C-alpha cells in the first residue's frame, strides 16, 4: 500500500533557477496568483496535452512554493492522500500522505485527473476547500489548519469523462475554475519550437496540420491531436526523421486504432502537404 502512494507522487522540489517554460495563453497566470493570494482552490479543465501540468509546475516555481503532485486513478482513496499507519520494524507509525504533507508544510497539492479518484476523496477535500481550510485526520485525531501558502489545485479532462465521473456541484463550486484549450497557431508554434528546437517555419506547418486534424474531433476521434504530440512530432523531425514518418508516428498512430479513421487522417495530411 505504501508503495502505491509513493508510486503516484512526484514531489517536485524544483531548485533550478528558472521556472519550467510555460507560454501563457490567456489570463491564467494572473488567475493562479490571485487564487493563491486569496487562498482559493483552483480547478483546471482541458483536453489532454494542452499544458495543465506544465502550467502548475511553472506557477509553483514562480511563487517559490513546493509542488506535491498526485496522479489520481480509480483506486485512489482518501487515505492515499491523507496517510495511514504502517508497520515499521515492529512499530506502527503514522505516515503522512501527499495532501497532509502539503497542508503541514505548505505548498501546492495538485490532484491530476481528480474525477478518477474514489468518492471518499471528496470528503477530505470539502473542509479544505471552503473557508475553514482544515484537514481533519480521523485516524490520528488531529485537526490541521492549512497555512497561508497551502493551495489545492485539481484538474480533469471533461472530454473523455462520462457523466458518472463528473464532479458533483457541491465539489466543483468550491473552486475557481479555468478552461484550457489549445493555443492559437502562433502561440502553439512558439511552444513547439521552444520545446523541440525545430525552426518556426516547419513548426507552423505542423501546427496548421494539427488544426485541420482537430476538426475531425467528435466525428471520428475522441480527442484532437495535442500540443504534446506536436512537440513529439517536431522533436522526431528535428532529430532527423522524415516529415511523413514523424507525422505518422506522432500525429496519427497515437490518435486511433481504427483503420478508416487513420485513412481519414492520412487524407487530411496528403491534402495539407500535397
Q: Contact residues for ligand ATP (CB under 6 A)?
A: 21-23, 25, 46, 48-54, 112, 157, 191, 195, 227-228, 231
Rounded to a whole number of angstroms, the minimum distance from the CB of residue 165 to ligand ATP is 14
Rounded to a whole number of angstroms, the minimum distance from the CB of residue 154 to ligand ATP is 12
User: Residue 262 CA to chain centroid, in angstroms?
Assistant: 27
Q: Which residue number, 23 or 266, has a Cβ lying nearer to ligand ATP?
A: 23
Q: Which residue number, 135 or 255, has a Cβ lying nearer to ligand ATP?
A: 255
91: phi then psi, degrees, rounded to nearest 5: -100, 155
Cα–Cα distance measured from residue 116 to residue 8, given in angstroms and rounded to the nearest whole number: 13
SS3 258: coil
Which triple of cell numbers denotes residue 242?
522524415
Which triple of cell numbers denotes residue 33?
496568483
| Contact call for residues 143 and 92 (beta carbons, < 8 A) | no
231: phi then psi, degrees, rounded to nearest 5: -65, -45
- Given Mg ion, ligand ATP, none, residue 48, with its beta carbon under 5 to 8 Å by kind, binds ligand ATP
Rounded to a whole number of angstroms, the minimum distance from the CB of residue 171 to ligand ATP is 19
Nearest to 71 by CA among 63, 80, 62: 80
Q: Which residue number, 129 or 193, has a Cβ lying nearer to ligand ATP?
A: 193
- Given ligand ATP, Mg ion, none, residue 14, with its beta carbon under 5 to 8 Å by kind, binds none
Q: Which residue number, 133 or 228, has a Cβ lying nearer to Mg ion?
A: 228
SS3 40: coil
Rounded to a whole number of angstroms, the minimum distance from the CB of residue 53 to ligand ATP is 3
- Given Mg ion, ligand ATP, none, residue 51, with its beta carbon under 5 to 8 Å by kind, binds ligand ATP
Rounded to a whole number of angstroms, the minimum distance from the CB of residue 154 to Mg ion is 11
- Given ligand ATP, Mg ion, none, residue 49, with its beta carbon under 5 to 8 Å by kind, binds ligand ATP
Q: How many CA atoms lie within 13 A of 66 on its CB side?
A: 15
- Given ligand ATP, Mg ion, none, residue 61, with its beta carbon under 5 to 8 Å by kind, binds none
Rounded to a whole number of angstroms, the minimum distance from the CB of residue 2 to ligand ATP is 25
Residue numbers of the site for Mg ion (CB under 5 A)? 53
Q: Which residue number, 53 or 203, has a Cβ lying nearer to Mg ion?
A: 53
Cα–Cα distance measured from residue 221 to residue 214, given in angstroms and rounded to the nearest whole number: 9
Cα–Cα distance measured from residue 154 to residue 245, given in angstroms and rounded to the nearest whole number: 36
- Given Mg ion, ligand ATP, none, residue 227, with its beta carbon under 5 to 8 Å by kind, binds ligand ATP
Cα–Cα distance measured from residue 153 to residue 194, given in angstroms and rounded to the nearest whole number: 26
Amino acid at each position: 500500500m505504501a508503495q502505491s502512494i509513493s508510486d503516484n507522487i512526484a514531489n517536485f522540489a524544483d531548485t533550478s533557477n528558472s521556472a519550467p517554460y510555460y507560454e501563457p495563453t490567456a489570463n491564467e497566470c494572473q488567475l493562479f496568483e490571485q487564487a493563491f493570494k486569496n487562498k482559493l482552490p483552483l480547478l483546471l479543465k482541458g483536453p489532454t496535452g494542452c499544458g495543465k501540468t506544465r502550467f502548475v509546475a511553472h506557477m509553483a516555481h514562480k511563487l517559490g512554493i513546493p509542488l506535491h503532485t498526485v496522479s489520481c486513478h480509480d483506486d485512489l482513496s482518501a487515505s492515499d492522500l491523507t496517510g495511514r499507519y504502517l508497520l515499521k520494524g515492529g512499530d506502527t507509525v503514522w505516515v503522512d500522505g501527499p495532501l497532509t504533507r502539503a497542508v503541514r508544510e505548505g505548498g501546492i497539492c495538485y490532484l491530476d485527473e481528480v474525477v478518477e479518484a474514489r468518492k471518499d476523496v471528496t470528503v477530505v477535500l470539502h473542509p479544505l476547500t471552503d473557508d475553514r481550510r482544515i484537514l481533519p485526520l480521523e485516524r490520528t485525531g488531529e485537526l490541521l489548519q492549512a497555512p497561508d501558502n497551502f493551495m489545492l489545485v485539481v484538474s480533469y479532462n471533461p472530454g473523455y469523462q462520462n457523466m458518472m465521473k463528473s464532479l458533483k456541484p457541491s465539489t466543483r463550486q468550491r473552486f475557481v475554475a479555468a478552461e484550457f484549450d489549445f493555443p492559437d497557431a502562433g502561440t502553439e508554434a512558439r511552444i513547439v519550437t521552444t520545446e523541440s528546437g525545430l525552426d518556426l517555419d516547419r513548426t507552423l506547418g505542423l501546427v496548421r496540420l494539427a488544426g485541420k486534424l482537430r476538426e475531425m474531433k467528435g466525428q471520428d476521434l475522441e480527442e484532437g491531436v495535442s500540443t504534446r504530440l506536436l512537440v513529439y512530432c517536431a522533436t522526431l523531425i528535428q532529430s532527423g526523421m522524415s516529415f511523413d514518418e514523424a507525422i505518422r508516428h506522432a500525429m496519427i498512430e497515437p490518435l486511433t486504432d481504427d483503420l478508416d479513421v487513420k485513412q481519414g487522417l492520412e487524407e487530411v495530411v496528403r491534402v495539407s502537404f500535397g
